[in-house]
């Protein structure tokens, strides 16, 4: 048979490497990421990153890790050459950042790369130079233990890709971002970043993530960051720092999440974080979050993306709920810190007599706050409430988790019915009066406290409703004269599809022909005149969410609407007894630092701040 000419042919090795490089090496920062991962995998405790022209001209990374011997140094340039895994089962027991064995080969194929490495204390190491992936020369040279890789002229042999590189400053920004992420995840490693010989970052070794966060994101954030420390069973653990709801950013770029020490930007995790802050933030605001999830490597697949930014969980919703609930639990007590911002407490100690020991009252229990961050941290990481203890500490692993996965509203709501004696932060305030019929003025020690009465009521109403809904105890009142609602087609369909659910919210609604409904009973909490408007709002909300059974998701939104309609507004005079009743209620609920829309409930001004206003300091 004559040899036929084929259309299909196998690509040459160096072209394969260039194609692979397209996935791994997008820009200088991708190289910084891969090389940093290699240094960390090599156990380095000191890493120096030097860039020129944003990394476009030079990227050089020097580490004091384990280094490589002569043979390994050569092998490291080969594609699919790795010391980190051997069999496919290793893929699901990864303890290293790298494992694909293609970074060095890919980087070398699109640059001029020099590797210097030494794996011994005798001072004899290897130096290998490659251009476009082809080794040009190799020598034995005197070197300290560790590895030093220089990547010059990125994409010199791929001019088309080179055109996509951005301005020096932009590329530098991306690279610094990569260093930031690795540095957050590895506080015990020192990182130095230089650009065009200028020192950009100089991070010494730290004991813990707190100091690293201070060094990287700003020390001033610390007083507003809450430590997170939760565990579920033996193979899920969440630690780190998250901002209190009043500390926000306009973009999600300050949400740093890590899984088993690897930075990831995962949709599920991101969603879980925002879920943890649900109803605490204004629209378009994002928290500052540095979170580390430790999970059994068998439960997560990191090999779904060439740069390993995304992962796949075996039990996605379990991980999601664990993260969301851990954050909710942490934030639940956020008013605790609001009530004694660290600055305030130290200021007080410094400036006023020591008898003014700062105290916070939490669920009737007095906690003395010392002036050191550490002390506060240790207070904080202890379970504050008995129900937390039940849930996270004292139960056997199995049960611990079952409990944890229950919806928050059902298992943990703290609302106790009015009438029971409550003592707490708000009831402990000295009431000075009302300002502009909207704000309550109070005194706490030497501090002035301003409370937004509308926000406070909304939060109370919302928590009450949420509790009652979960307990199935929303009571309704029958209307003497049913109200007839006329809706547009879409709202009518949405409402008609959800009459059952609405009944559990206290609304008795019956179809009244066409697009009309008869409203026969409404939740007791509501004023008659508000009810019709509210049902229209609810119908719109249902329509927005769609009829595909997403009601559970939007129940909270509906409860917020209901709370909004049921509460005291601004511009309403309040008698002292009414204020006291409000405070009683505030002390009995969780999440009291913000209204359900995320607006703050209270603001604090220290005596010092007031004195500054009058130039007394
Ligand atoms: P991977 O990290 O996926 O194994 P790489 O191409 O990044 O693949 O690296 C190939 C191998 O080279 C690594 O498995 C490791 O053994 C070795 N290596 C790379 N960089 C270093 C370093 N800085 N120190 C010590 N060994 C290194
Ligand atoms: Mg690697």
Do 439 and 450 meet the contact criterion of CB atoms below 8 Å apart? Answer: yes
Q: Domain span at residue 137?
A: 13-203
Instruction: Name the residue of 98, 149, 305 to mutate for ligand 1: max ligand atoms within 8 A of Cβ.
Output: 98
Same domain flag for 30 and 172 = yes
What average pLDDT does the chain have?
80
Report the pLDDT value the prediction gives residue 406, as an integer from 0 to 100. 28
Q: What is the pTM (predicted TM-score) of this model? A: 0.65
* Whether residue 147 has its Cβ less than 6 Å from ligand 1: yes
Which SS3 state, helix, strand or coil, does residue 220 take? helix
77 has a pLDDT exceeding 60: yes
Whether residue 163 lies inside any domain: the answer is: yes
Tokens 């300290």, residue?
A: 144
Residue 211 lies in a domain: no
Rounded Cα–Cα distance for residues 35 and 104 (Å): 8
Task: Please name the residues in contact with 292: beta carbons below 8 A apart, sequence gap of 6 or more.
Answer: 185, 209, 238, 239, 240, 258, 259, 261
Strands annotated E in 323-409 = 359-362, 365-368
- CA 208 to centroid of chain Cα atoms: 18
Question: What pLDDT does 355 receive?
Answer: 28
Among the candidates 309, 333, 357, a domain finishes at 333
Three-state DSSP at 453 gives helix
- Structural domain total, the chain: 3
Cα dist from 466 to 52, 457, 461, 492, whole Å: 57, 14, 8, 25
Give pLDDT, residue 553: 62
**∠256-340-224 over CA atoms, to 5°?**
15
Instruction: Tell me: do 148 and 165 sit in the same domain.
Output: yes
Tokens of 477: 């009142």
Q: Report pLDDT digits (tens) over 118-161.
A: 999 999 999 999 999 999 999 999 999 999 999 999 999 999 89
Smallest CA-to-CA distance from 154 within 26, 308, 306 is with 26
Whether residues 436 and 386 fall in one domain: yes
Q: Do 593 and 338 contact (CB within 8 A), yes or no?
A: yes
Q: Are residues 149 and 241 in the same domain?
A: no
Instruction: Assign residue 258 a region (left: φ > 0; alpha: ψ between -120 and 50; beta: otherwise).
Output: beta
Residues 6 or more apart whose Cβ sits within 8 Å of residue 382: none
3-class state of residue 576 by DSSP: helix
CATH of the domain at 293: 3.30.230.10
Distance 187 CA to ligand 1 centre (A): 21
Q: Would 56 be classed as within a structural domain?
A: yes
Give the tens place of pLDDT for each residue, 526-549.
766 667 778 887 887 777 665 444
CA of 42 to the centre of ligand 2 (A): 10
Express as a percent the part of the chain with pLDDT over 90: 41
Q: Is 77 in the pocket of ligand 1 (CB under 6 A)?
A: no
Candidate from 104, 126, 133 with most ligand 1 atoms within 8 A of CB, to mutate: 104
**For 16-57, how does the pLDDT look when each residue is reduced to its tens digit (9 = 90+)?**
888 887 888 999 999 999 999 999 999 999 999 999 999 999
Same domain for 238 and 191? no
Alpha-carbon distances, residue 271 vs 288, 319, 466, 492 (angstroms)? 14, 11, 22, 31
Q: Find out whether the beta carbon of 103 lies less than 6 Å from any atom of ligand 1.
A: yes
């Amino acid at each position: 048979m004559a040899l036929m000419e084929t259309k299909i042919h196998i690509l040459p090795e160096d072209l394969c490497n260039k194609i692979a490089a397209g996935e791994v090496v997008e820009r200088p920062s991708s190289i910084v990421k891969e090389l940093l991962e290699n240094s960390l995998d090599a156990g380095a405790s000191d890493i120096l990153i030097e860039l020129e022209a944003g990394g476009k001209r030079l990227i050089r990374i020097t580490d004091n890790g384990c280094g490589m011997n002569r043979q390994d140094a050569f092998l490291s340039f080969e594609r699919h050459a790795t010391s980190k895994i051997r069999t496919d089962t290793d893929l699901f027991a990864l303890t290293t950042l790298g494992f694909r064995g293609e970074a060095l080969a890919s980087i070398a194929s699109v640059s001029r790369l020099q590797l210097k490495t030494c794996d011994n204390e005798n001072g004899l190491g290897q130096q290998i130079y490659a251009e476009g992936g082809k080794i040009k020369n190799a020598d034995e040279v005197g070197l300290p233990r560790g590895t030093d890789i220089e990547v010059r002229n990125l994409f010199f042999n791929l001019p088309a890709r080179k055109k996509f590189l951005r301005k020096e400053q932009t590329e530098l920004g991306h690279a610094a971002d990569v260093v930031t992420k690795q540095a957050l995840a590895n506080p015990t490693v020192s990182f130095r970043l230089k650009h065009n010989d200028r020192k950009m970052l100089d991070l010494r070794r730290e004991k813990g993530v707190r100091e690293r966060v201070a060094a990287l994101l700003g020390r001033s954030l610390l007083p507003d960051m809450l430590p997170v420390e939760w565990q579920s069973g033996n193979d899920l653990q969440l630690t780190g720092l998250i901002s209190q709801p009043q500390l926000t950013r306009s973009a999600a770029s300050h949400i740093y999440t890590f899984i088993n020490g690897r930075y990831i930007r995962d949709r599920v995790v991101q969603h879980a974080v925002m879920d943890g802050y649900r109803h605490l933030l204004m629209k378009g605001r994002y928290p500052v979050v540095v979170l580390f999830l430790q999970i059994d490597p068998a439960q997560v697949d990191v090999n779904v993306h060439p740069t390993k930014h995304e992962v796949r969980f075996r039990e996605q919703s379990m991980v999601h709920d664990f993260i969301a609930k851990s954050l909710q639990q942490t934030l639940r007590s956020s008013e605790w810190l609001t009530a004694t911002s660290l600055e305030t407490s130290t200021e007080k100690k410094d400036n006023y007599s020591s008898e003014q020991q700062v105290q916070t009252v939490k669920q009737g229990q007095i906690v003395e706050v010392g002036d050191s961050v550490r002390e506060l941290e240790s207070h904080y990481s202890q379970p504050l409430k008995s129900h937390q203890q039940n849930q996270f500490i004292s139960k056997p692993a199995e049960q611990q988790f079952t409990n944890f996965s229950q919806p928050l509203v059902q298992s943990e709501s703290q609302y106790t019915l009015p009438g029971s004696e409550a003592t707490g932060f708000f009831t402990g305030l000295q009431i000075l009066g009302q300002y502009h019929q909207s704000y309550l003025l109070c005194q706490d020690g030497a501090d002035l406290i301003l409370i937004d009465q509308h926000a406070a009521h909304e939060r109370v109403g919302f928590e009450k409703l949420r509790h009652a809904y979960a307990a199935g105890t929303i009571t309704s009142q029958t209307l003497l004269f049913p109200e007839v609602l006329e809706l547009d087609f879409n709202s009518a369909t949405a409402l008609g599809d959800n009459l059952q659910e609405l009944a559990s919210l206290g609304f008795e609604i019956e179809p009244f022909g066409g697009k009309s409904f008869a409203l026969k009973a409404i939740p007791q909490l509501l004023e008659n005149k508000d009810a019709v408007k509210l049902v229209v709002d609810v119908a719109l909300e249902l329509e927005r969410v769609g009829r595909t059974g997403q009601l559970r998701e939007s129940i909270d939104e509906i409860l917020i609407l209901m709370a909004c309609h049921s509460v005291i507004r601004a511009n309403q005079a309040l008698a002292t007894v009414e204020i006291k009743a409000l405070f009683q209620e505030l002390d009995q609920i969780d999440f009291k630092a913000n209204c359900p829309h995320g607006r703050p409930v209270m603001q604090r001004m220290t005596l010092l701040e007031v004195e500054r206003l009058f130039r007394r300091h």
